A and B are shown apart, each in its own frame.
Chain A
Amino acid sequence: MLDPSASNGTPRIGFYICHCGTNIAGTVDVKAVAEYIGTLNGVVVSREYKYMCSDPGQELIQQDIKEQKLDRIVVASCSPLLHEHTFRTATEKAGLNPFFFQMVNIRENVSWVHTDPVAATEKAKDLARAAVRRVFLHKPLAPKKVPINPAVLVVGGGIAGIHAALTLANAGKHVYLVEREPTIGGHMAMFDKTFPTLDCAACILTPKMSAVKSHPNITLWTYSEVSALEGFVGNYKVQVKRKPRYIKEDLCVGCMECVTACIFKDARFPDEFNVGLSKRKPVYIPFPQATPQVVLFDPETCLQLKKGKCKQTCIEACDRECIDFTQTEEFKDIEVGTIILATGFKPFDPSKTPYYGYGTYPNVYTALEVERLVNASGPTGGEVVLRDGSHPKAVGIIHCVGSRDEKTNRWCSRVCCMYSLKLAHLLKEHTGAEVYNFYIDMRTPGKGYEEFYDKLLKEGVHFIRGRVAEVTDWAMDAKEEGKLIVRVEDTLIGTVRRVPLDMVVLSQGLEPRADAQDVRRLFNISCATEGFFLERHPKLAPVNTFTDGVFIAGACQGPRDIPDTVAQAGAAAAEALALIDAGHIELEPNTAFILEEDCSGCKSCVPLCPYKAISFLEDKKKAYINEALCKGCGTCVAACPSGSIVQNLFEDDQIFSEIDGLLSELAVSGGGRL
């Protein structure tokens, strides 16, 4: 099968097989493969080299192209997902169209996964031969150059989103920061002090929050969500739904007169920011430093909004006339070039581990509740008062609640050991109580973390190594009456212990958010099996996704602490900046087109395209593909009954020749195609 378009007659193919040190050569007999391929029709040059992706390796290709007048290149080495671009660029630099290149994966798919050198070498030969046959039929193509809109969408206003937004805004790019809650700040705003420095979380976070609010390059939309998305890298059209606060945001100054005047004299509804430990009114501000500093009305509890009748004392009290009960949700349409997802995590719900007594015994708390309890601006002003009004003299902190557990979540949530130590310190400081930490392993890897643990040991906190079996209230003797008993095997002394306590804190793990699957479908990325967003490569591309132009940062990608979250947010911002400053991106030219003469106008293809790239031309009675909308999946190509749709880079003939090449040693007869 010759390609007349490339040269006159048989193509001149250069074949290169990489040793990759011993990664490939240790299992595959690369010399034998090179020799064998050298015997095939059309192969002019067949070489083996230690590291093809290195400069000398690439120069080898370029030299041969020039000297041997090669017009096709095949490289057998690692995965095309890693180095296809490298070799295509090398090919192009030597003056040959980069799409006359085909790559063969004999590392990830062969040498790394097979132990039998004979079988591995056979497989490598088959794959290489298939590539040689395929590359005969490659055509010169030009990548689509697509401009990148410099505006950026950041989804999620926690510390990750805030840091990414500020970095990009400071670089002069316009950022839309969309946050679902009425204020930015995320989970970090709820913490009291942060480990290991014991910096006050609000003190280090609020300056960044106000910087976001006042930055001329940031459009901050809180109480908003992304409702629709279309487009592709560099050209995203996003629809943002802004939920009604029933307040004119630009008029409200956060004086809270309306809250005081509310018809509900007492606060009655669970306060979300204080995790239900205190109450709020239907009109409220989430916390004093909420950004923007604007109140909002809860439509479920506000009498006017729920039932339609109220004295509306709030409106009377507001002298700036900000309140507007007729507000409805508003949709904003924006265009951005890149998107950063920083949607954060969900704390593990301990009702899934009922043997720890959360919800059954009032003095069992989650870690997040305790953060509010010890916080000076929390529901009890920083005084550790339990739900029954008492002050604890003995406190237990149970590590790994929901984590490292086959029945709930298998992973380690990374931050709980450190925050458990922090809470131990804070609780001891606030109450003077005896504090017990029940741990499995003590994971303190970060900078200053081990030293923090050391400090706690010296403070007299008790550490018991063992996974807690249950928290219960049945007493074996008078001493245990009225206490919460933690039953645990103390593995270091080899006995089962009953530890009577007044307060139990559950160090809950981190999970993906409940709607992670919906969000990732909206943005066309994937989730890993645990449910966190999937990065392109766990080591080398932790903030990229498989969708060009969409980046992830922070706990939405996996449990992490604040320093790592900020680092990732910066990394995601840098990736976005790289695209924006390059100004354009080259898209793989694997779009489909219709051979008009062959099209019979059956319309089978038209409804197949999810991007509506295929239309029917009524005048010609032929189908037509809009190249700008086509993403290159090839579904229409496979469906066309007359074979009149062709996909660049994945043409039928090319794939047939690849199949034939894989199996040609088997064919007993020359045998035509079916």
Chain B
Amino acid sequence: MTYRYFPGCSLKSSGRSYEESLLAVFRALEVPVQELDDWNCCGATAYMSVDEVEAFALAARNLALAEQGGNGQAPQLMAPCSACYLVLLKTQKYLAQHSDLDQKVRAGLTAVNLRYDGRVQVRHPLDILVNDIGLDRIKKRVKAPLAGMKVACYYGCQIVRPFATFDTAYNPTTMDKLVAALGATPVAWPLKTRCCGGTLTGTIPEVGLRLNRILLGEAKRRGADTLITVCPLCQFNLECYQDAIQRELNANVSLPIVYLTQLMGQAFGLSDTELGLQRLFVPAARPAVQEGGKAAHA
């Protein structure tokens, strides 16, 4: 089964290493992935607050594109960026529930010779990896188990709220199980789905910095060697403001922040460049070296 892939704007620019590592991991697992042809920006959270109907229509175009072709099975559309994932999922649900909205959007799609039937299933890669591909297959592919590495799994606020489709809303565990399968130890902490501030780091920095400081501080307090995430904005927020937090809030929150797929790629033994690790501001954590027993991670 080929997964249709909706990268979204971030994965082609500032979140490039997410795409690089995601595609590398899926290649390593021999799961075919095909980028959606002529996809457009999903609108994320910004457009929805400007014009709801247009925003839904914009997102629905991608859903319609995903339904083209195929062999009768329900097409699977993978959306790695949390915001894209939520917008696409929300569009699906709202169109199904509100017939007046549905009519307007369909009219728009028809005008550009597109059709949306509600067949496509919007999926998050975390869901696909653990529930479709399965932990056994992933375990088999692990060549360099991340022994001794303590990983704080950060889900962010959008992949299990408001729609908890593949995990529970308050204390999800899918990522933690995946991390365990890679040989690392997931850190038990209560801030897995606490907001990183999103765009607040840009618009109201004192709030954005504070929210990130809380997440980083607690992860460090619990002994995490690294924090992993599945959203390009979360990754950016958590990684790139660590100096500012030190300056403004006088707190040392230095911690490597990588994408889940980058961590997986490390466990699979893939090269740094394949995973985009060279793009990190804070170098990635490494598992303890086997011989000599000296920890090699930062």
Contact A472 B168 (CB under 8 A): no
Which residues of chain A come closer than 8 Å to B221, judged between CB atoms? 474-475
Which residues of chain B come closer than 8 Å to A474, judged between CB atoms? 189-191, 214, 218, 221
Question: For residues 462 through 483 of chain A, which have their beta carbon under 8 Å from a beta carbon of chain B?
Answer: 472-476
Interface size classification for chain A = under 10
Q: Does A354 contact B (CB under 8 A)?
A: yes
Nearest-neighbour CB distance to chain A for B253, whole angstroms, equals 13
What is the 8 Å Cβ interface bit string for chain B, positions 154-192, against chain A (1 contact, 0 not)? Answer: 000000000000001011000000000000000001110
Nearest-neighbour CB distance to chain B for A480, whole angstroms, equals 11
Nearest-neighbour CB distance to chain B for A349, whole angstroms, equals 15
Which residues of chain A come closer than 8 Å to B191, judged between CB atoms? 474
Smallest CB gap from A361: residue in B: B190
Q: Does A355 contact B (CB under 8 A)?
A: yes
**A475-B217 Cα distance, complex, nearest whole Å:** 9
Question: For residues 122 through 171 of chain B, which have their beta carbon under 8 Å from a beta carbon of chain A?
Answer: 168, 170-171
**A64-B168 Cα distance, complex, nearest whole Å:** 71
Known: A472-B190, A474-B190. Contact between A354 and B214, CB under 8 A? Answer: no
**A472-B170 Cα distance, complex, nearest whole Å:** 12
Smallest CB gap from A473: residue in B: B190
Secondary structure of the A contact surface, majority rule: loop
Which residues of chain B come closer than 8 Å to A355, judged between CB atoms? 170
Secondary structure of the B contact surface, majority rule: loop
**A171-B196 Cα distance, complex, nearest whole Å:** 69
**A475-B251 Cα distance, complex, nearest whole Å:** 14
Nearest-neighbour CB distance to chain A for B289, whole angstroms, equals 32
Nearest-neighbour CB distance to chain B for A122, whole angstroms, equals 34
Which residues of chain A come closer than 8 Å to B218, judged between CB atoms? 474-475
Contact A476 B214 (CB under 8 A): yes
What is the 8 Å Cβ interface bit string for chain A, positions 515-539, against chain B (1 contact, 0 not)? Answer: 0000000000000000000000000
Nearest-neighbour CB distance to chain A for B204, whole angstroms, equals 16
Contact A354 B171 (CB under 8 A): yes
Which residues of chain A come closer than 8 Å to B189, judged between CB atoms? 474
Which residues of chain A come closer than 8 Å to B214, judged between CB atoms? 474, 476
**A167-B190 Cα distance, complex, nearest whole Å:** 53
Which residues of chain A come closer than 8 Å to B190, judged between CB atoms? 360, 472-474
Smallest CB gap from B210: residue in A: A476
Nearest-neighbour CB distance to chain A for B116, whole angstroms, equals 31
**A476-B214 Cα distance, complex, nearest whole Å:** 7
Smallest CB gap from B190: residue in A: A472
Which residues of chain B come closer than 8 Å to A476, judged between CB atoms? 214
**A591-B84 Cα distance, complex, nearest whole Å:** 65
**A672-B190 Cα distance, complex, nearest whole Å:** 76
Nearest-neighbour CB distance to chain B for A182, whole angstroms, equals 36
Smallest CB gap from A356: residue in B: B170
What is the 8 Å Cβ interface bit string for chain A, positions 401-418, against chain B (1 contact, 0 not)? Answer: 000000000000000000
Interface centre among A360, A473, A474, A475 (most CB of B within 10 A): A474
Interface residues of B (CB under 8 A from A): 168, 170-171, 189-191, 214, 218, 221
Show 16 residue pairs from A and B whose CB-CB distance is below 8 angstroms, ordered by the A residue.
Answer: A354-B168, A354-B170, A354-B171, A355-B170, A360-B171, A360-B190, A473-B190, A474-B189, A474-B190, A474-B191, A474-B214, A474-B218, A474-B221, A475-B218, A475-B221, A476-B214
Interface residues of A (CB under 8 A from B): 354-355, 360, 472-476
- Give the 8 A-B CB pairs with smallest separation, nearest first: A354-B170, A472-B190, A474-B218, A355-B170, A474-B190, A354-B171, A474-B191, A473-B190
